[in-house]
Amino acid sequence: MRKLLSLSLLAVLIATTSVARAEDAAVEKTKLETKAETRTPPSTIDFGRELDVSLQALAHLGRTIEDAQEEADPICIASAANILAVAESLADGKKASLTSEQLWNEAIKLAELRKSSTELAALAKMTSGDQAKDLMERSESAKTEEQAAAKAAEAGETDRDLHGELHVINRSHDWVRIIVDGRYLGTIGPHRSGEVHLHGAFHLEGRGQHGHYWHEDIHGHRHHYDWVLRDPHDPHHH
């Protein structure tokens, strides 16, 4: 009888090990490799000179825009866009290398990623016409989702969003700010790595120095990602 029980226990252990191995195989890491783009840092743009408009508000506008981008703040980006729009209206048709329209598009995209009803409503108040109406409708939609999520949390329900870990491997010479779905999560030093927790993540951004920028969109449902940030001068990346 003891021999029979031992054989039965052994069979269970073998079966359990097989299931565990199958689960481990199913939970494979997805590897993403991204080479940096190089963009003109807003802080290097002389808006007054490019527009030929003398306004004190333009003196440090580039630095203000860059700070807002690094903090992933759609309201500050939109505020800077409105200042720039005023300067553009005085510029006799001239445009700077970064325009108010581009900044507004960036602010709206960022607010949509963040899914904050308050931020979307604030943006609606900062503009007018169809754009304001559209933003307010998006704000109401986001508010409905926020209320539903709050009720589900109170009831102890779990959502079906993606949960997992993002392992960022920084192979560049930059200090890189990691932004996931429009929210700043931390900074990773040159040639270092770090992990952040994912919750419904779809858009990844890395903002480095000297205008270096990495981005990826996640498709499908995986729970573990290795994201390799390649140096912009890496000759081995294709």
Q: What pLDDT, in 10s, does the model give residues 80-113?
A: 999 999 999 999 999 999 999 999 999 999 999 9
Question: pLDDT value at position 192?
Answer: 96
183-189 mean pLDDT: 93
Question: pLDDT value at position 8?
Answer: 40
- Retrieve residue 93's tokens: 């048709």
Residue whose C-alpha is closest to residue 171's, from 212, 115, 123: 212
In percent, how much of the chain has pLDDT > 90?
A: 66
Share of the chain residues as helix, strand and coil, in percent rounded to the nearest 5: 45, 20, 30
Phi, then psi, of 215 in degrees rounded to 5: -155, 150
Mean pLDDT, rounded, of the chain: 85
- Retrieve residue 85's tokens: 């729009």
Reported as a single tens digit per residue, the pLDDT across 48-82 is 999 999 999 999 999 999 999 999 999 999 999 99
Question: pLDDT value at position 11?
Answer: 37
Question: pLDDT value at position 57?
Answer: 96
Q: What is the pTM of this model?
A: 0.79
Question: pLDDT value at position 25?
Answer: 43
Question: pLDDT value at position 222?
Answer: 65
Question: Confidence band (pLDDT; 50, 70, 90) for 2?
Answer: very low
Reported as a single tens digit per residue, the pLDDT across 114-154 is 999 999 999 999 999 999 999 999 999 999 998 988 888 77
> Pick the residue with more confidence: 212 or 9?
212
Nearest 5°: the CA angle 43, 48, 50 is 85
Judge whether residue 156 has pLDDT over 80.
Answer: no
Judge whether residue 7 has pLDDT over 60.
Answer: no
